[in-house]
Chains A and B, each alone.
Chain A
Amino acid sequence: MKKIMTPILFFTLVFAFLVPTGSAKDREYEAIVNHLQKNFQAQKVKIPFTWLARFAVKIVKPAGVRSFNFTLFENINFSSPTFDAEMQSAMRSSLSPAWSPILRIRSQNEDQIYAYMREDGKNIKMMLVTVNQKEVAVIRATFNPEKLADFLNNPRIFGLSLGDNKKLNLNNP
């Protein structure tokens, strides 16, 4: 019985991460991803074993991160003058009003960043889009800030210390 149950449990867990859940968080994330694909003919970069990384994060919750999703695009076709306004509008229309725009950096020569945050019980949800000349990354992460603070104070995963007395950098990037 145990021999049958173990693979069933394993595949159930794996499929739980692979099958779209249709939850609000995924719909909002997918709306932003779809916007980039449709409007800027962006090509998704295939990153192997992303599902495994997501699965591991869900189980281990490193640094208080409870879940994440990540899409990388390349060869994005956009013209600088209108991209910023279009991206702001796309994020506003994709995300519910509970999200707050906390940071926007628009640079002609360097990266562009759009960061939104919202509270979800004890957790924080973050939606981040970073754009440079070659790539666009869309990141959605849910994390527990208290656990993140604990991790920063004492960086350990599976009891292994990752700390090396590095100072936390809160200065400008």
Chain B
Amino acid sequence: MNFVNKQTGKTLLLILFGLAAISVPAQDAKLNLDKLKGLENKARDVIEVNIDGKVLELAKRVLVKINDKNAKTIGEAIKGLKGIYVRVFNFEKDDEYNLTDIDDIRNQLKSPDWERIANVRSKRKNQKIDVFTKFSGDTMSGVAVVMSETKTLAVINVIGPIDIDTLVEISGKLNIPKIDIEKNSDKKEKPDN
């Protein structure tokens, strides 16, 4: 016996696809950071930050109320965001990790939806910073920053629209690693060393 007739089935499918279409822009900027778990055994220190859902909503509500410049800056910066995810791995010795360890992250960022807007290479601590953005139509749906130094590897994934200057400004706070790039380096790719 068919409990769901054709019309009901079509309606259900439409609802399901409709819901999926609505949820795609917010969700697809979220990187799958699980593959980084493999680095945990090699790393001396690991920092994992996950701020989303109700906790983020609460932070938006409260931070702007605090009479403090830092709190207000962060409160304003996170206004339109849906999630902030940070993974930092510090290693004991130089080059204890391999860049192939983050190949999975780089592969996710190779999708045509992601665009690299900054690519900074510095000889200081062999620092490399790549900033990627993702747009859904005219709306920015997320930012990803991959930072590597001789003893540190960090991935920052922000879901929702955020100005890169603001991201640089709030870096170094709330366990988000300091993003050490010039504010005007956006969209100007520098050659690799």
Is residue A141 within 8 Å, beta carbon to beta carbon, of the partner chain?
no
> Are B52 and A100 in contact, CB atoms less than 8 angstroms apart?
yes
| Complex: A149 Cα to B60 Cα, angstroms | 12
25 A/B residue pairs, CB under 8 Å, sorted by A: A100-B53, A101-B50, A102-B49, A103-B49, A103-B175, A104-B46, A105-B45, A105-B46, A105-B47, A105-B175, A119-B54, A119-B58, A124-B55, A145-B58, A145-B62, A149-B62, A152-B68, A167-B68, A167-B70, A168-B71, A170-B71, A170-B174, A171-B70, A172-B172, A172-B173
Tell me the residues in window 124-150 of chain B with beta carbons closer than 8 Å to chain A beta carbons. Answer: none
Binds B, one of A3-11, A19-27, A30-38, A106-114: A106-114
The digit string for A134-173, where 1 denotes a CB below 8 A from any CB of B, is: 0000000000011011101100000000000001101110
Is residue B74 within 8 Å, beta carbon to beta carbon, of the partner chain?
yes
Is residue B94 within 8 Å, beta carbon to beta carbon, of the partner chain?
no
Residues of B within 8 A of A100 (CB): 50, 52-55
Is residue B67 within 8 Å, beta carbon to beta carbon, of the partner chain?
yes
Q: Total interface residues on B, using CB and 8 Å?
A: 27
Residues of B within 8 A of A103 (CB): 47-50, 175
10 nearest A-B pairs in the assembled complex, by CB-CB distance: A104-B48, A107-B45, A168-B68, A119-B54, A149-B65, A106-B46, A170-B70, A145-B62, A153-B67, A149-B62
> Are B58 and A153 in contact, CB atoms less than 8 angstroms apart?
no
Tell me the residues in window 148-193 of chain B with beta carbons closer than 8 Å to chain A beta carbons. Answer: 172-175
Residues of B within 8 A of A102 (CB): 49-51, 55
> Are B74 and A148 in contact, CB atoms less than 8 angstroms apart?
no
Is residue A117 within 8 Å, beta carbon to beta carbon, of the partner chain?
yes
Q: Give the interface centre of B51, B74, B175 by most chain A CB atoms within 10 Å.
A: B175
| Complex: A99 Cα to B67 Cα, angstroms | 29
Residues of A within 8 A of B40 (CB): 84, 106
Is residue B110 within 8 Å, beta carbon to beta carbon, of the partner chain?
no
Tell me the residues in window 1-59 of chain B with beta carbons closer than 8 Å to chain A beta carbons. Answer: 40, 44-55, 58
> Are A170 and B62 in contact, CB atoms less than 8 angstroms apart?
no
Tell me what chain B mostly uses at the interface: helix, strand, loop, or mixed.
mixed
Interface of A toward B, CB cutoff 8 Å: 84, 100-110, 117-119, 124, 145-146, 148-150, 152-153, 167-168, 170-172
Closest to A170 in B: B70
> Are B50 and A153 in contact, CB atoms less than 8 angstroms apart?
no
Residues of B within 8 A of A172 (CB): 172-175
Expressed in whole angstroms, the minimum distance between the Cβ of A165 and any Cβ of chain B is 11
> Are A117 and B46 in contact, CB atoms less than 8 angstroms apart?
no
> Are A104 and B47 in contact, CB atoms less than 8 angstroms apart?
yes
Residues of A within 8 A of B55 (CB): 100, 102, 117, 119, 124
| Complex: A61 Cα to B71 Cα, angstroms | 23
Is residue B61 within 8 Å, beta carbon to beta carbon, of the partner chain?
yes
> Are A153 and B48 in contact, CB atoms less than 8 angstroms apart?
no
Known: A105-B47, A119-B58. 10 other contacts (CB 8 A): A101-B48, A102-B55, A105-B46, A119-B54, A124-B55, A153-B67, A168-B68, A170-B68, A170-B74, A171-B172
Closest to B41 in A: A81
> Are A108 and B58 in contact, CB atoms less than 8 angstroms apart?
no
Expressed in whole angstroms, the minimum distance between the Cβ of B68 and any Cβ of chain A is 4
> Are A153 and B173 in contact, CB atoms less than 8 angstroms apart?
no
